[in-house]
Homo-oligomer: A and B are copies of this chain.
Amino acid sequence: MVDVAIIGATGYGGIELIRLLDTHPLVRLSYLTTETYVGERVCDVYPHLTHIELPLEKLDPTAVARCDFALVAIPAGLSMELVPGFLDAGVRVIDISPDFRLRDPLVYKHWYSLEHTSADLLQQAVFGVPELHREAIKAADLVAAAGCYSTSALLSLAPLIADKLIDTTDIIVDGKTGLSGAGRTSLKLPFHFPEADEDTSAYAVGGHRHVAEMVQELAELAGGDRVTITFTPHLVPMSRGILTTSYVSPRDGIDTAALYDCFAAHYADEPFVHFLPQNTWPHTKWTAGTNHCFLAADIDEPSGRAIIVSAIDNLCKGYAGQMVQCLNLMIDADETTGLSMPAVYP
């Protein structure tokens, strides 16, 4: 049993962590922090978590220090202030903020308009997508879990780039997300039900921050080739789920069979990534509440472009589930521990 602290336990990501860890056989939820609900219990804030009477406390680093793991679910900028102290106290950290995802502090500053105050940790932080960095995660003290869009896009593109099947400078990712990604703390007009209901729209066109981590991770796989990605996220009227549709240019001679062989080979042993048979395309609904990713691909005639569609649950494989998957690796447990439930469908 490991003792786990959740730093930022009352947002949607925080309670998704609680949902997954509450019944995890190897984890003891030992310490939950909150900014907003100090002194209340989880079940006070979320009445449906009726049996989870754990107290919510104001962050106290000495209490974190008594834990084996800190799962950090707080905004960009705050995480980099706290994580060094956790590590110094011997606590292993899985951070879902973007603070330790980008290895270059200048890139971080460009996208987040913040000077990085713990840049020395960036080289040791491991980017938290197990399908890309499984061995490094096992040994890591600091895992920077990937963003939701990035996870979906990287799982769609990494095999093709690793196997040099596509042009790395001609990549388009069109993302569609449900609104739980907006979180619970900040109530903004675009997430007001009457505005978002029955609506689809693009946002952050030409400038969503997740593109930086996509590029970093794919560039590493591309072995020196330049990577450029055009990424456009969209809001669609649902709570959970991300679908990314990626458009790429296969290199000469790469046909559908090659595409299939590539995905099949890379994901044959992955417990959470499922490459679908031809003409079956993923649905976000298939992933609701689970850590699974469903992937499909084909080549469009006559443009010759390859299209890869990927579906995940943005709060699970795109957030808390991925953190738990990393945690399982870090404690040498079966990777699927606590993550084996099927989707709540329909």
A residues with a Cβ closer than 8 A to B are 12, 15, 18-19, 22-23, 46-50, 52, 169, 172, 174, 176, 178-180, 182, 184, 187-189, 191-203, 205-207, 228-230, 232, 234, 236-241, 243, 245, 247, 274, 276, 280-290, 292, 294, 296, 298-303, 305, 307, 309, 311, 340-346
Contact = CB atoms under 8 A, between A and B. Distances in A.
A18 B23 CA distance: 20
A94 B195 CA distance: 27
A196 to B, nearest CB: 4
Given A48-B292, A205-B281, A228-B303, 4 more contacts: A198-B285, A201-B284, A230-B300, A232-B300
A282 to B, nearest CB: 7
Contacts of A179: 193-194, 197
Contacts of A345: 15, 19, 46, 48
Nearest to A340: B23
Contacts of A285: 48, 195, 198-199, 201
Contacts of A236: 176, 200, 236-238
A50 to B, nearest CB: 5
A321 to B, nearest CB: 11
Nearest to A19: B342
Contacts of A296: 205
Contact of A202 (B50, B172, B230, B245): B245
A245 B234 contact: yes
B241 A238 contact: no
A108 B243 CA distance: 32
B193 A196 contact: yes
A172 to B, nearest CB: 5
5 contacts: A19-B342, A179-B197, A197-B239, A201-B284, A206-B307
A172 B247 contact: yes
A18 B345 CA distance: 11
A247 B197 CA distance: 26
A241 B199 contact: yes
A182 B346 CA distance: 12
Contacts of A298: 205-206
Nearest to A191: B193
A6 to B, nearest CB: 15
